[in-house]
């Protein structure tokens, strides 16, 4: 299996999808015995629901996950138990506050007016080709950095002098982390001495700290010296520092780094695929433009409440996220032996790869038109809003699992 995997590494998501279709949505990958690369790959909605919801407590991120994402330290996506609960109680609450939403809307509008539109106008006047993916990455990075660290890095501009060090560090880190999902741990450790990818990951970690720590220290000092007469600062930077008073600078650094990377990278990915799909489906683009023109407002940037009237645009974004999710896969390892709804037995040593990219391409889940870019599937029958799809696993199905140990064989019946 390993040679086939390596041969298809450049098209890994489509290769996994082809295999999963033939295996009913789940298969066991077996690598060389010395590599510790055995894993279960699944896109079965019942399995994913079981792991992420029904039996969530048995599937913590665990030490393996933390090693892969070590640069995120104690950030939200990297921790379990008490720290995870702490993040879940504080960060989403602050992000749902009106102050956060107002500042986000303001930051996005300013970046459109002062960054995106001047850049697009510049290339349009020159008549040259542009890399939209690169533009979206710079734009999303600037917005995320501004939103959480209160500073505009200005990476999106008409004449950039070079790539911003923080953005370059994100690229290097994400690239190395992707390979860490597949390669065994001993391989990463060896590569630190000769592999450029692992060396860049180490350098990226230092770059993140060099940028974030001075900002945290400056704002903390300002808060400590603040007088009662000074107006209240409701920025995310100040709010999180005040919320986590008593926590170490390392904890704050990990928290902000996680928010910047996950917020910027996922947005850039979503925008890139969305506009690619629009380019391939001019009839969808025409419908979106028609709805925008119906607002009859002579401006380039709309407010949130105005965008909520654009139902077809919303549906098109949902459909784009279905086909090309910014996080196309995730992985878990059970704390105790478990039986998945598909009948597969997983032990504490089993790595489970959940590929959401493949789930979107299953006819059994989305129908025969699953490969089509079809925003209409998200619009409610009355045309008044977006409908949500709830994929229900089959019921009353008995799965017989036969396993063996050194001394005995046993059979277990598992009802889905």
CA 327 to chain centre: 4
Contact 403, 347 (CB under 8 A): no
Q: Which region, left, alpha or beta, applies to residue 13 given φ > 0 means left and ψ of -120 to 50 means alpha?
A: alpha
Q: What's the whole-number mean pLDDT along residues 211-215?
A: 96
Q: For residue 263, what are its two tokens?
A: 């917020």
Give the model's confidence band at 395: pLDDT under 50 very low, under 70 low, under 90 confident, else very high. Answer: very low
**In whole angstroms, how far apart are CA 99 and each of 30, 108, 147, 207?**
50, 14, 11, 30
Determine phi and psi for 191, rounding to 5 degrees.
-70, -20
pLDDT in tens, 149-165: 999 999 998 887 788 99
| Domains and their CATH numbers in the chain | 2-415 (1.10.630.10)
pTM, whole model, 2 decimals?
0.84
Question: What pLDDT does residue 414 have?
Answer: 34
pLDDT in tens, 108-150: 999 999 999 999 999 999 998 889 999 999 999 999 999 999 9
Q: What's the whole-number mean pLDDT along residues 11-36?
A: 84
Q: Could you tell me the maximum CA-CA distance found in the chain, to the nearest angstrom?
A: 78
pLDDT in tens, 237-292: 999 999 998 899 999 999 999 999 988 889 999 999 999 999 999 999 999 999 99
* Distance in angstroms (rounded) separating the CA atoms of residues 63 and 358: 26
As a whole-number percent, the residues of the chain with pLDDT over 70 amount to 90
Nearest to 341 by CA among 392, 296, 290, 276: 392
Nearest to 350 by CA among 331, 363, 365, 366: 331
Question: What pLDDT does residue 66 have?
Answer: 84
pLDDT in tens, 320-354: 999 999 989 888 889 999 999 999 999 987 889 99
């Amino acid at each position: 299996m390993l040679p086939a995997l390596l041969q298809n590494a450049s098209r890994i998501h489509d290769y996994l999808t082809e295999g999963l279709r033939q295996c009913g949505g789940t298969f066991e990958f077996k690598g060389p015995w010395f590599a510790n690369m055995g894993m279960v790959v699944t896109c079965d909605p019942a399995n994913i629901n079981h792991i992420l919801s029904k039996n969530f407590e048995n599937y913590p991120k665990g030490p393996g996950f933390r090693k892969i994402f070590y640069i995120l330290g104690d950030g939200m996506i990297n921790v379990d138990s008490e720290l995870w609960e702490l993040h879940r109680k504080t960060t989403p609450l602050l992000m749902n506050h009106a102050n956060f939403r107002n500042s986000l809307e303001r930051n996005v509008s300013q970046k459109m007016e002062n960054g995106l539109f001047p850049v697009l106008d510049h290339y349009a006047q020159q008549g040259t080709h542009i890399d939209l993916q690169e533009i979206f990455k710079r734009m999303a990075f600037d917005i995320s950095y501004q939103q959480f660290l209160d500073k505009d890095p200005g990476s999106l501009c008409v004449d950039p002098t070079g790539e911003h060090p923080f953005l370059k560090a994100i690229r290097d880190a994400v690239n190395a982390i992707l390979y860490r999902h597949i390669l065994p741990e001993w391989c990463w450790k060896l590569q630190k001495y000769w592999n450029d990818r692992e060396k860049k990951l180490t350098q990226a970690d230092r770059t993140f700290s060099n940028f974030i720590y001075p900002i945290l220290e400056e704002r903390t000092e300002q808060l400590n010296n603040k007088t009662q007469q000074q107006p209240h600062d409701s920025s995310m930077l100040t709010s999180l520092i005040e919320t986590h008073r008593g926590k170490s600078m390392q904890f704050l650094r990990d928290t902000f780094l996680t928010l910047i990377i996950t917020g910027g990278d996922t947005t850039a990915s979503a925008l890139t695929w969305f506009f690619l799909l629009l380019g391939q489906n001019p009839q969808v683009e025409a419908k979106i433009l028609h709805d925008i023109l119906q607002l009859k407002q002579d401006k380039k940037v709309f407010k949130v409440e105005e965008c909520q009237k654009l139902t077809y645009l919303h549906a098109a974004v949902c459909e784009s996220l279905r086909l090309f999710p910014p996080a196309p896969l995730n992985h878990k390892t059970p704390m105790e032996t478990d039986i998945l709804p598909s009948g597969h037995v997983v032990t504490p040593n089993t790595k489970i790869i959940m590929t959401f990219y493949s789930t979107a391409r299953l006819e059994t889940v989305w129908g025969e038109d699953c490969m089509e870019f079809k925003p209409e599937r998200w619009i409610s029958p009355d045309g008044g809003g977006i409908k949500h799809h709830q994929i229900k696993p089959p019921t009353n199905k008995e799965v017989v699992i036969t396993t063996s140990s050194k001394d005995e064989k046993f059979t277990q019946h598992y009802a889905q």
